[in-house]
Structure 1
Amino acid sequence: MIDQYVWRGGKELMLRFGPSEGPLAIVTLPLFEEANRLRAFAVTLCRALADAGVASVLPDVPGQGESLTDLRSCTLANMRSAMAAAGAALGRSDRNLPYSVALRSGALLDQDLAKAGRWLFAPQSGDNLVQVLDRIRRTSDRLGPGASGKQDVGTPPLVEIAGNRIPARLLESLRAERADGDGDLPQRIVRLSHAFQPADQMVEGSALWRRAEPGNDPTLAALLASDIVAWIAACER
């Protein structure tokens, strides 16, 4: 079902899946081009959660995907504020808070969300995200090394990367951000088996964010959904 939420910058859409009662997961896509590559996978994940009796929502992040918010005006603070507003729009009480399910750099956006716990898939730090974006920029045939795209008069400096005109201040604010850790909340980290970083669980599957075009991996989505369902059940005990 298509729904919407309101935040201080306007309205954004969100997809809703699964039952109207019981545990709920808020699934956060990664930033920029990886959001496009993982969107179909995220929808498959949400449907697998619904099949297992866990509801989920997939909100649009301001400046990303189908959002009408101009990325050039976005800050990390207002992206986080929007995710918090998406959670608040679901009307959950403090005793029945949703769980955050963040994919890749989506783990940089749920800090202000009122949640019962965090489940992270291949979480990416802000510094690593900026490094990856910088490599993409430097190897771009269109812009070339060090180019930043045409600037509009009266707007903050922009960096054009893979078709995204990203405020330089947004990139700078991301550099110091960690993806893991959120106080005393329950947290689980799942990574692909070839990853070098520590994790609570390693799984086999495709690194869809590295593909040139959007893709899907239903087998991996089903595996991750099973892990999320079991983790939420353990948190609810």
Structure 2
Amino acid sequence: MIDHYDWRGGREAMLRFGPETGPIVVIAMPLFEEANRTRAFVVTLCRALAARGVASALPDLPGQGESLVPLETCSIFDVAEGIERASKADWEAGRALYSVAIRSGAILDKLALFSGRWHFAPQTGPELLRDLKRVKQASIGARVLLGDLWYFDVAKPEGVEDQHVEIAGNRISTSLLTALSVYEPWRQDDGGHVRTVRLDTDRKPADRHVPGTPLWRRAEPSNDPALAALLADDIAAWIARCGG
């Protein structure tokens, strides 16, 4: 079902899957171009969750996806507010509410009142910033080596206090990039249930490692239905344990 939510900057689209009652997860997609590579997979995941009796909401976030808000005008708070506002109606309706965050989406689910957070291959803000630096370095070549505050060195002015950096077709504000340097995913110590799942090729600590394809590393959008089914089983079982 096609739905929407409102936030300070206007109205954004949101897809809904699954039953109208019971537990519901709000999907936090990866930031920037990785979302395009994983969206088909996430839709497959949402449909697999629906088949297991778990509803989901997949919102377009401010400055992301089909949002009409220019990315370069968005702060990290604006994007994170999208998750909070997208979950508001279900929270007010008293539904058991959880987040499912993919990659850098794990730094966006910190404002909403979730009973639990499930993170797949979570990426910290500093890790994302390093990835963006590598992409920018590759685009300008070796003639200029980027330093620690590289985004200020290559920024294009929009105004006295407003600058942006163009990375792989994304115009990102320097204030958003600065914020990434300190943004981390929600931790167990922050409260509520937190579960981390990673691919078996990723040796970072996790509650579970699973076989699958790192779709975000592919040059073109792709899908992995078997992985989506495996993760849907894990999410549904986790929500049941959390009391959803």
TM-score strictly above 0.5 = yes
Query: Does residue 165 in structure 1 map to residue 171 in structure 2?
Result: yes
Task: Name the CA distance, whole Å, in 1 between partners of 2:238 and 2:217.
Answer: 27
> Per the alignment, in what secondary structure is the counterpart of residue 135 of structure 1?
helix
- Corresponding residue to 1:181 among 183, 187, 194: 187
Aligned 1:74-153 pairs, distance under 5 A: 74-93=74-93, 96-140=95-139, 145=144, 148=154, 150-153=156-159
Task: Give the TM-score of the pair, scaled to structure 2.
Answer: 0.91
- Corresponding residue to 2:227 among 202, 220, 224: 220
Cα distance, 1:215–1:103 mapped onto 2, change above 3 Å: same
Long gaps (5+) in structure 1: none
The amino acid that maps onto 1:176 is V
User: Which is further off, 74-83 or 175-184?
Assistant: 175-184
Cα distance, 1:44–1:143 mapped onto 2, change above 3 Å: farther
The amino acid that maps onto 1:171 is L
Long gaps (5+) in structure 2: 147-152
How far has the Cα of 1:154 moved from its partner?
5.5
Task: Name the CA distance, whole Å, in 2 between partners of 1:19 and 1:233.
Answer: 16
> Per the alignment, in what secondary structure is the counterpart of residue 6 of structure 2?
strand
Question: Which residue of structure 2 aligns with residue 20 of structure 1?
Answer: 20
User: Which is further off, 171-180 or 29-38?
Assistant: 171-180
Query: Does residue 194 in structure 1 map to residue 193 in structure 2?
Result: no
Q: Deviations over 1:28-55 (max 9, x none)?
A: 1010011111111110000000011100
**What RMSD, in angstroms, separates the aligned Cα atoms of the two structures?**
1.9
How far has the Cα of 1:71 moved from its partner?
0.5
Greater than 2 Å deviation, 4+ residue runs = 89-94, 141-155
Task: Name the CA distance, whole Å, in 1 between partners of 2:195 and 2:87.
Answer: 20
How far has the Cα of 1:92 moved from its partner?
3.7
> Per the alignment, in what secondary structure is the counterpart of residue 64 of structure 1?
coil
The amino acid that maps onto 1:228 is I
Task: Name the CA distance, whole Å, in 1 between partners of 2:125 and 2:112.
Answer: 18
The amino acid that maps onto 2:174 is A
The amino acid that maps onto 1:31 is L
Q: Deviations over 1:36-87 (max 9, x none)?
A: 1111111000000001110000001100110011101100111122211111
Question: Which residue of structure 2 aligns with residue 58 of structure 1?
Answer: 58
Task: Give the TM-score of the pair, scaled to structure 1.
Answer: 0.94
